[in-house]
A and B are shown apart, each in its own frame.
Chain A
Amino acid sequence: MEFERQAALKRGIEERKKDYREVEQKYSEEQTRQQATRCMDCGVPFCHNGCPLGNNIPEFNDAVYEGNWKYAFEILDSTNNFPEFTGRICPAPCESACVLGINKSPVAIEYIEKSIIEKAFENGWVKSSAPRKRNGMKVAVIGSGPAGLAAALQLNKAGYWVTVFERADQAGGLLRYGIPDFKLEKSVIDRRLKLMEEDGVVFRTGVNVGTEISAGQLQEDFDAVLLATGSTLPRTLDIEGKELNGVHFAMDYLTQQNKRVALEEGYDGLDLSENHAGERYQKEDIRATGKKVFVIGGGDTGSDCVGTANRQGADKITQIAYGLLPPNERDASTPWPMYEHKLRTSTSHEEGCERLWSVNTKAFIGDENGNLKALRLVDVSWKFENGKRILIENPDTEREVEADLALLAIGFSSPQSQGLVEDLNLKLDARGNIVTENYRTSRKGIFAAGDCKRGQSLVVWAISEGREAARAVDVFLSGSSLLEAKEVGMTSAVFS
């Protein structure tokens, strides 16, 4: 093998900490090509299986290797509506499954993907995909996150008039408000939305379906409705002091900062007092500047909080997770080609933070003004019993640590059921997610896709669901569909 793995180059830590621009540098054509040569074009491309979208990775790698960027884009575009998003923020299960990864470092698939789509935008290959003929039918998509956008784009291509409803002030959902600009600059979303609008997709932002438009009205106005409202109810820690000032959900924190960045960028019509769900903030402005910050939760959202807090000038940042410190290399419990359990260090971690493992938060301790002043922590260990993991606290280790800001980044439990979901009387599963069969909900003509249906997940899964749901809607309304499917070829007898 001629070249070593080299993913996207990053800006220097000191430099990037000063702003909210993307950490990753612009792709280099030569570097991307070199990386593509590492692909072995496997007979069984595990990467392709690892990708929830079924991105045809070996084929686009080959096209890049041959310098045929346009064809690479066509290949990528045929499975993924938004490579510019996944190319930036996907945890890349494809790379975990890459065959090279058995005994070497995997192909930098995500970097190649991002390079292809950026090259495509630069060259104007990402063009209108408006249908030549409309079929006259209308579809409402509720929610403008990745699932909703993907579905809208697909349905529009298939000839439907599509209206996307978004209760926040701008479209994009979690992409816009949940993900910091240093990972995904918002112009990336805007450029895509603009294309979609040009193609005829109508975006109605700031509209809370269920309150401002009734479910009945919606069904009357549209031939089909697709819910892509996400999994928005955050998990909380039901412990002492959770109501204190200085204890916040990560999403509220991130949204606010994303809006601040947007305002600086010159966006208008933004309301800093509203969160991503269009709800008013109950507590003060959330800023980490000069504070001792605790991020609770070891996942990506937590990491985003770390990066944001660093940029805001936090005094000290600590991220705590109750799990064990993962190993540096792939853990034996997740052999190749599974998504590997191992210690992951994000760019935000590189920028500075302390990470604690096997630590549980027992309580938030406030001062007399109701402001957070400390956290009570305890060390934990784990044991296995009957195949279940059981957490054991070590009471000797209980201690209090000084804290000014605590950010809860421990995930989301379910979609919001009050409002639309209740009005439509949709069947929910035990977790509160919408029950579907091939994306059809219990109500005829109502479909659901993405996190509101499958529970919180990855952007790549949201796009995948949006695409598949669009097909389901198309088949429902037109009897057949020529939209691509993930697992069924067009010339398969079971395709349409």
Chain B
Amino acid sequence: MMKTNGGLYLPDFEHDACGIGFRAHLKGGKSHQIVADAITMLERMDHRGACGCDPNTGDGAGILLQIPHEFLYDECLELGFRLPKYGEYAVGMIFFPYDEKQRNECKEIIGRKVEKLGFELMGYRKVPTRNETLGEGSLSVEPWVEQLFLRLTDADTITFERKLYVLRQITTKLIHESVAGSEESFYYSSLSTKTISYKGQLTTDQLKYYFPDITRKDVISAFAIVHSRFSTNTFPSWKLAQPFRYIAHNGEINTVKGNVNWIRAGEASFYSEFFTDKEMQMILPICHKGNSDSAHLDNAIELLHLSGRSLPHVMMMLIPEAWEENPDMDPVRRAFYEFHSSVIEPWDGPASISFTDGKIVGATLDRNGLRPSRYWVLKDDTVVMASEAGVLDIDPAQVAYKGRLQPGKMFVVDMEQGRIIPDEELKGDICSRQPYQQWLDEHKIMIRDLPESIRPYTQYSEEGLMKRQIAGGMTSEDLRLILAPMATSGAEAIGSMGIDIPLAVLSNQSQHISYYFKQLFAQVTNPPIDSIRERSIMSLISFVGASENILSESPRHCRQVQLDQPVLTIKQFDKLRFVDYEGFQAKTINTYFNTNVPDPAKALEFALERICRYAEDAIYDGFEIIILSDRAIDSDHAPIPSLLAVSAVHHHLIRKGLRGKIGLLVESSDIWETHHFATLIGYGASGICPYIAFETLSSMNRKGMIAGEFTDEQLYKNYIKAVNKELLKIFSKMGISTLASYRGAQIFECIGLGKTFVDRFFTGTVSRIGGLGIAEIAKECLIRHAVAFPKIPVESVKKLETGGVYQWKQRGEKHLFNPDTIHLLQQSARVGVADPKRGYEIFKKYSRLMNEQADKTMTLRSLLKFKGTKAIPLEEVEPVENILKRFATGAMSFGSISWEAHTTLAIAMNRIGGMSNSGEGGEDEARYTLLPNGDNMNSRVKQVASGRFGVTSYYLSNADELQIKLAQGAKPGEGGQLPGHKVDEWIGRVRHSTPGVGLISPPPHHDIYSIEDLAQLIFDLKNANRKARVSVKLVSEAGVGTVASGVAKAHADAVLIAGYDGGTGASPLSSIRHAGLPWELGLAETHQTLVKNKLRGRITVQTDGQIRTGRDIVIATLLGAEEYGVATAALVTVGCIMMRKCHLNTCPVGVATQNKELRALFSGQPEHVVNMFTYLAMEVREIMAELGFRTINEMVGQSQYLAPRNLGDHWKLKHLDLSRILHREEVETALYKQEEQDHGIEGVLDHTLIRDAKEALENQVAVSAEYKVNNLNRSIGAMLSNEISKRYKGKGLEPGTIHYKFYGTAGQSFGAFSTRGLRFELEGDANDYFGKGLCGAELVVYPPAASTFFPSENMAVGNVSFYGATSGEAFIRGMAGERFCVRNSGAKVVVEGIGDHGCEYMTGGIAVILGQTGRNFAAGMSGGIAYVYDADQSFAGKCNTEMVDLDDLTEEDVEILTGLITRHFENTGSDVARRILENRSFELEKFVKVFPRDYKKILMEREAVVA
């Protein structure tokens, strides 16, 4: 792993994802075929891995198998030593430094420790390797690979393994400490008596060439696990290749920072009967720095396994099923999970894990099932498990059965017992090992069981309350816009139009410390979760109290207080404050510092030391809870920010190894908005009492500031509900499901806090531009304290400050767009129509004001100045026209803004050669035709967002750019919702949905759960329109550069780095403000990382977010962007006056509304927009001339033309350090896009399909043909559909004109964006994303004629089939995976069984399910109908009925259903269909009609109109 060298890139940000699989023999029969097959599987998953700028440097590939005893025996004999029996010796597969001297140093250390631990070192074997095919990257750090052979007499296998573990840990530690540079170059791939791993930074097909060993016929094994890695970076790292020693992991542990901290926090109390104390000391620390999340997980699994738990048991602890919200779970199993939840928090995130201890090999899937895992059991006892179907050519006749791993489920092949142990049995055994339920009943404490406090606190007087409100930092805006809506509606208020106030560190207002922390969110490498519709997998439960040694289990382990959710009322808090329950006690520590001293900064420091010391003492005194409280503040004592207090204690105790001994609760005056709660939990708090928020609500209620009649208790309840809801959303946007995992996970980047301060109090948090230290934080507290507790009692402070964050206020926070700048910008564009010169003068006034107010340090760029040396004449700079082509407007859907506003922007951008963006709402096909005057309303950029509204082949075919929106600045990691009343006829038509029915955009793209999925979608889109470039929109956050490299490696043509602050969309207030980073950081990081990876020349970089002036654009260019998005300013130009009420449909200037009357008030003209962009370009040219640049291209990334402004001695700004933003990578490589990506679509099957369809395409004559396919044939039909759309527009061809039949296992995205006129039959099965974006084609799947399994009980197609389908039909004889028909809005499909989350967000069409469904069916389903065959009447329990009714069939339904089932039978020969049809009189009765309520209402209304 390359170290950072002064830039923004940090290795912590790396992510990986991949393809995994194993092949095993059920009865433990060893053969070389197993190894050879596994390698084939690996090679067939090549598209799931990645390579960097040079195609020969892979991200990593490897294989884990049983020790090939025969082979090694012979090899060692030649080397002069004789191996004992299999199992009586261990083999270490070791990466040594290439340097011989260093290598010998390593070996010396190993030698000494081997001896000390009582092993016999038999010898080393140099592993033969062939590095000729390696690329430069991996070659540069290629290790020297040797095998170590050890023997230990008189030890059983497990003892041997434990000793090996000790040896490995201690030698690794010692070598890293004493041999220079060995951190990277010394590593044990494996050290075991049973398994051995061959891995490296290789491409999948380099593996067997590099390690000739594994191709040797005498290398035999009963199983082999393979892994191909797709990492977002290419910085060489051999050791991060997988499989690891116990697992291969496809996925990402989002909470790894917290998990590692919790492991570390517990280390001091680790005790195991299987290790001596001395050995334990050698083992620690468990988790090594610089490891990937997967490597850490492997470390944790190993520890828990070797200290006495079986591997499946460990898996269940670390990756538990979603038990919390599942009442149907077996109570014994539930008790197991509940008990273990107080032992250790889940390692949360998407995970498909293959694991082995040498005797069993198994696989498990995370609770959400976010990674595909398919398996096959063959009649010859072969078991195959892989991320994809089709990775091995399996004779259909040999298949006994095939399936997929389900969320939370485990699949174990026990080679000793010679059978597959089903999930139920396996878990049943594990769960009944101990009387977990009894332990829980006897020891777990519920808060309701505790007695009422005898000393409850009473409420403050109004005056006392106000003092605490002010000290805590509350403003009247917080009351009106944050507290009141939460307490009355149970949800956070919504806002619009981004945020244009200064970052906390740049603000003059005293800041809440949490405002220096920005929430991180998942993009690309990991999906955010929908915490509303997938509530069933989310949990808010946490425990307070001492945790016990995780290496053992006992009843005491669950002796903790369980909190069902983290927000405690004053009453509940008082209960805990004075708890005395069987010796369970809490210690309260005052979180204040003395203000009445000469140096209050020192006082704050002393106070923090004091609370840490008291906390430590409390542990030794036997307390189990620490309460941090600021209730005792007064005129001489200011509150310590609660977040600082909590994190200081948390990290202090982690450092002391005591953190696990105590539960941390906090009550403070500075907690009211959700972000405050999220930060507190993220830094270790278990329970939080926002007592001043509660008292404020009571006071507001008394004073009539709450609209409506509520009791105080109702207000509290709603408020808590709102906090909980938003917390779940904050977790879920990072892809985290449980509070227990989020707690302490530090899912934040800090901006504006100094390194020393962060390292000490927020250890491990990323903070890249430095900033405040303890003195400045003290000052921020003192400013508020001085107003709250004035030295002289003045009458003036009677009202809270106004805030001015969400609304511009004269004495509030500064805003870039304020009355003056809005006015000038509008004037310039308007005056410019008649008088361009005068228009530009006004524009200059505007930009001067904008830049000047920026001078008051509102943005990061305002801290920079230009550093030009050689001005050139303006004429030498490239013309305005060239620059205009680089402009884009933002992605705003027709629906979010009016037709008038949307088309005005499009016309203007087409006039200047820039790009307008359709947004995510589809596009009216009328816009693809020019207007009579030659104007063009077509949006050149067509967005592909998670809702896939109106994304058809024809839509895609009409784009110059296809933009995949992974996140948006206003609410990264969140979905959206267009309420039904906004979906009028027009919008419904454009979005291919039912007017009146609400539309939900899911938080994730359901076809992008990882980077390899993104690569697949890019591939799909490239197939769907070869001439369009594919762009990926990301939001700036720590690590976005690394993600952008991944995006480049996934072959995107462009990447957009959006600032957190922009964004015109409606979103919850806290998301607008607290998630994401300014573009300056994200853009600079992206550019630096791409350059470092030599990928910059392959990808266009665009940026947006509050770009307002020529100066902004030049800075963006110097930091690495070559294209620029300007959305808000463009909207202002056409009349927007920043009402920030876009979500209410009341826009008074006709911009963001669908109301006809209001739309009539729209006064913008394309000329205005053209003027604004022209003026921007003119300004850019002027600055370019000053700096001496003739073209934009030569300016890209020349950050040496920027320098920090002299900010004098400003108390806050003086500590900022922008050098990392301005850092230039010294790598010889292109700095702007110069080279086209190789999309790999040259050889796709569709070229053949198109050729064979010539007659149909040209003359609409029917054609048919047959093809053999395998999993490498991906996106079949997309390119062919593009050809149809180009010729026949949205209408396509007559059904069945092109009739193709395929044999085999089809690759991902079979039939993607397939349009009308196609009929595809697939005899075989298919992978994920089957029928994605189906728009008119017919798809039919049935099993091969030779197969003998029951089709209806076996997998036919993978996960996420028919995602975003808009029309067409499909008949599938067999089962589909999870998330069937997500966001279907028009397709009619029949299938014989599906997994979880079926028909989620569906808005139209028909789904017929002739078999079992998984859980959470119909979540967020607002339209369309599903008919479910519910033979065993279990469906009701699995259906999420929040939005749907379960109805009986009407006559009309029977007719539709019978028709579809008949066609299913005709198309597929389904025996299920036949049986139903034959017995239709009573079989049809078993169907349930899933009918969305809104949809029903609309249909009934329509009927009424017709009647």
On whether the beta carbons of B704 and A495 are closer than 8 Å, the reply is: no
**A133–B810 alpha-carbon span in the complex (Å):** 30
A135 at the interface (CB under 8 A from B): yes
Query: Per-residue 0/1 for A100-136: is the Cβ within 8 Å of any B Cβ (1 yes, 0 no)?
Result: 1011100000000000000000000000011111010
Instruction: Tally A residues with Cβ within 8 Å of B.
Output: 60
Give the interface segment out of B399-407, B794-802, B857-865.
Answer: B794-802
On whether the beta carbons of B1148 and A58 are closer than 8 Å, the reply is: no
A218 at the interface (CB under 8 A from B): no
Q: Which residues of B contact A485 (CB under 8 A)?
A: 811
Q: Which of A40, A44, A157, A335 contacts B794 (CB 8 A)?
A: A157
Interface residues of B in 775-789 (CB under 8 A from A): 779-780, 783-784, 786-787
**A483–B787 alpha-carbon span in the complex (Å):** 10
On whether the beta carbons of B819 and A59 are closer than 8 Å, the reply is: no
Give the interface segment out of A10-18, A45-53, A164-172, A358-366.
Answer: A45-53
**A495–B780 alpha-carbon span in the complex (Å):** 12
On whether the beta carbons of B509 and A44 are closer than 8 Å, the reply is: no
Q: Which residues of A contact B703 (CB under 8 A)?
A: 68, 70-71
B818 at the interface (CB under 8 A from A): yes
On whether the beta carbons of B793 and A40 are closer than 8 Å, the reply is: no
CB distance from A111 to the nearest CB of B (A): 20
CB distance from A66 to the nearest CB of B (A): 5
**A199–B1148 alpha-carbon span in the complex (Å):** 45
**A56–B476 alpha-carbon span in the complex (Å):** 11
**A102–B830 alpha-carbon span in the complex (Å):** 15
On whether the beta carbons of B1148 and A99 are closer than 8 Å, the reply is: yes
Q: Which residues of A contact B802 (CB under 8 A)?
A: 56, 59, 489
Q: Which residues of B contact A100 (CB under 8 A)?
A: 1148
On whether the beta carbons of B817 and A131 are closer than 8 Å, the reply is: no
Given contacts A71-B705, A491-B510, A494-B508, A133 and B792 within 8 Å (CB-CB) = yes
In the complex, which of the residues A50, A130, A483, A489 has the most CB atoms of chain B within 10 Å of its own CB atom?
Answer: A489
**A159–B792 alpha-carbon span in the complex (Å):** 8
On whether the beta carbons of A99 and B811 are closer than 8 Å, the reply is: no
On whether the beta carbons of B819 and A491 are closer than 8 Å, the reply is: no
On whether the beta carbons of B811 and A487 are closer than 8 Å, the reply is: yes
A337 at the interface (CB under 8 A from B): yes
CB distance from A200 to the nearest CB of B (A): 11
On whether the beta carbons of A67 and B508 are closer than 8 Å, the reply is: no
**A34–B808 alpha-carbon span in the complex (Å):** 24
On whether the beta carbons of A490 and B801 are closer than 8 Å, the reply is: yes
CB distance from A211 to the nearest CB of B (A): 35
Q: Which 10 residue pairs spanning A and B have beta carbons closest together?
A: A43-B1140, A54-B810, A49-B819, A491-B510, A68-B704, A157-B795, A44-B1138, A44-B808, A78-B799, A489-B811
CB distance from B1353 to the nearest CB of A (A): 57
B622 at the interface (CB under 8 A from A): no
A496 at the interface (CB under 8 A from B): yes
Specify the chain A residue showing the minimal Cβ separation from B1135: A102
Given contacts A70-B703, A489-B812, A491-B787, A157 and B819 within 8 Å (CB-CB) = no
On whether the beta carbons of B1148 and A44 are closer than 8 Å, the reply is: no
Q: Which residues of B contact A491 (CB under 8 A)?
A: 470, 473, 509-510, 783-784, 787, 801
Query: Per-residue 0/1 for A349-384: is the Cβ within 8 Å of any B Cβ (1 yes, 0 no)?
Result: 000000000000000000000000000000000000
**A149–B138 alpha-carbon span in the complex (Å):** 80
A257 at the interface (CB under 8 A from B): no
On whether the beta carbons of A74 and B790 are closer than 8 Å, the reply is: no
Seen from chain B, the residues whose Cβ lies within 8 Å of a Cβ on chain A are 470, 473, 476, 480, 496-497, 508-510, 703-705, 707, 779-780, 783-784, 786-787, 790, 792-799, 801-802, 804, 806-812, 815, 817-820, 822-823, 827, 830, 1137-1141, 1146, 1148-1149, 1161, 1163, 1211-1212
On whether the beta carbons of B1139 and A40 are closer than 8 Å, the reply is: yes
Interface residues of A in 59-78 (CB under 8 A from B): 59, 62-63, 66-68, 70-71, 74-75, 77-78
**A78–B476 alpha-carbon span in the complex (Å):** 12
A97 at the interface (CB under 8 A from B): yes
In the complex, which of the residues B704, B795, B812, B830 has the most CB atoms of chain A within 10 Å of its own CB atom?
Answer: B795
Interface residues of A in 431-472 (CB under 8 A from B): none
Seen from chain A, the residues whose Cβ lies within 8 Å of a Cβ on chain B are 40-46, 48-50, 54, 56, 58-59, 62-63, 66-68, 70-71, 74-75, 77-78, 97, 99-100, 102-104, 129-133, 135, 154, 157-159, 335, 337-338, 478, 482-496
On whether the beta carbons of A135 and B792 are closer than 8 Å, the reply is: yes
Specify the chain B residue showing the minimal Cβ separation from A157: B795
**A158–B794 alpha-carbon span in the complex (Å):** 5
On whether the beta carbons of A159 and B794 are closer than 8 Å, the reply is: yes
Given contacts A103-B1149, A490-B801, A40 and B822 within 8 Å (CB-CB) = no
Q: Which of B476, B797, B1148 contacts A40 (CB 8 A)?
A: B1148
On whether the beta carbons of B1148 and A130 are closer than 8 Å, the reply is: no
Q: Which residues of A contact B804 (CB under 8 A)?
A: 489
On whether the beta carbons of B1137 and A102 are closer than 8 Å, the reply is: yes
On whether the beta carbons of B1137 and A42 are closer than 8 Å, the reply is: yes
Q: Which residues of A contact B509 (CB under 8 A)?
A: 489, 491-493
Specify the chain A residue showing the minimal Cβ separation from B794: A482
Given contacts A43-B1140, A488-B811, A493 and B1211 within 8 Å (CB-CB) = yes
On whether the beta carbons of A493 and B508 are closer than 8 Å, the reply is: yes
On whether the beta carbons of A493 and B783 are closer than 8 Å, the reply is: yes
Specify the chain A residue showing the minimal Cβ separation from B802: A56
Given contacts A46-B1137, A493-B510, A158 and B809 within 8 Å (CB-CB) = no
CB distance from A387 to the nearest CB of B (A): 12
Q: Which residues of B contact A46 (CB under 8 A)?
A: 819, 1137
Q: Which of A44, A68, A154, A482 contacts B819 (CB 8 A)?
A: A44
On whether the beta carbons of B807 and A45 are closer than 8 Å, the reply is: yes
Specify the chain B residue showing the minimal Cβ separation from A100: B1148
Q: Which residues of A contact B1148 (CB under 8 A)?
A: 40, 99-100, 102-104
On whether the beta carbons of B798 and A78 are closer than 8 Å, the reply is: yes
Specify the chain A residue showing the minimal Cβ separation from B1160: A103
CB distance from A50 to the nearest CB of B (A): 8
On whether the beta carbons of A44 and B815 are closer than 8 Å, the reply is: yes
Q: Which of A77, A482, A489 contacts B790 (CB 8 A)?
A: A482
**A135–B1148 alpha-carbon span in the complex (Å):** 51
On whether the beta carbons of A66 and B705 are closer than 8 Å, the reply is: yes
Given contacts A42-B1139, A56-B809, A335-B827, A483 and B796 within 8 Å (CB-CB) = yes
**A89–B822 alpha-carbon span in the complex (Å):** 29
6 new A-B contacts, CB < 8 A, other than A102-B1149, A485-B811, are: A56-B802, A74-B798, A135-B792, A157-B795, A489-B802, A493-B783
Q: Which residues of B contact A66 (CB under 8 A)?
A: 704-705, 707
Q: Which of B480, B794, B809 contacts A131 (CB 8 A)?
A: B794
In the complex, which of the residues A46, A158, A490 has the most CB atoms of chain B within 10 Å of its own CB atom?
Answer: A490
Q: Which residues of A contact B470 (CB under 8 A)?
A: 490-491
**A157–B793 alpha-carbon span in the complex (Å):** 10
Specify the chain B residue showing the minimal Cβ separation from A63: B705
CB distance from A48 to the nearest CB of B (A): 6
On whether the beta carbons of A44 and B811 are closer than 8 Å, the reply is: no
Specify the chain A residue showing the minimal Cβ separation from B803: A489
On whether the beta carbons of A496 and B1139 are closer than 8 Å, the reply is: no
**A496–B787 alpha-carbon span in the complex (Å):** 10
**A56–B707 alpha-carbon span in the complex (Å):** 20
**A382–B995 alpha-carbon span in the complex (Å):** 59
Given contacts A40-B1148, A66-B705, A482 and B510 within 8 Å (CB-CB) = no
Q: Which residues of A contact B704 (CB under 8 A)?
A: 66-68, 70-71
On whether the beta carbons of B1137 and A129 are closer than 8 Å, the reply is: no
**A99–B784 alpha-carbon span in the complex (Å):** 34
Given contacts A337-B823, A491-B509, A99 and B473 within 8 Å (CB-CB) = no
Q: Which residues of B contact A135 (CB under 8 A)?
A: 792
On whether the beta carbons of A40 and B1146 are closer than 8 Å, the reply is: yes
Q: Which residues of A contact B790 (CB under 8 A)?
A: 482
CB distance from A488 to the nearest CB of B (A): 6
Can you give 18 A-B contacts (C-beta < 8 A)?
A40-B1141, A40-B1148, A43-B497, A43-B807, A45-B808, A46-B819, A48-B810, A49-B810, A56-B802, A63-B705, A99-B1137, A100-B1148, A102-B1137, A133-B792, A484-B796, A489-B811, A490-B787, A493-B508
